[in-house]
Amino acid sequence: MKKTLKLLSKRIRVTKNKKIIHRQKQQGHNKAKESPNVRRAKRKPIRSQSTVISQAIKNYS
């Protein structure tokens, strides 16, 4: 039995077509200093292009 990678399970979602979607990085505090365009862009999930993450998901799912 393999353990769930908590890092991946909290941040990544796999769609039915096996695409990996995750939240934009660096969404912590101090959002008031960012421009409105940056804040709006962070609301949308982005598609991951990382091969390391995709291979990790294949190994653990």
pLDDT tens sequence across 31-51: 778 888 888 887 777 777 777
Phi first, then psi, for residue 56 (nearest 5°) are -65, -40
Query: Which residue segment(s) compose the domain that 12 sits in?
Result: 6-25+33-60
* Residue 14, pLDDT score: 81
Q: How many domains does the chain have?
A: 1
pLDDT tens sequence across 14-30: 888 878 887 777 777 77
Give a yes or no: residue 1 inside a domain. Answer: no
Q: What's the pTM value of the predicted model, to 2 decimals?
A: 0.49
Q: Is the Cβ–Cβ distance between 57 and 4 less than 8 Å?
A: no
CA nearest neighbour of 19 among 59, 40, 43, 50 = 50
Residue 6 has pLDDT above 70, yes or no: yes
Give a yes or no: residue 15 inside a domain. Answer: yes
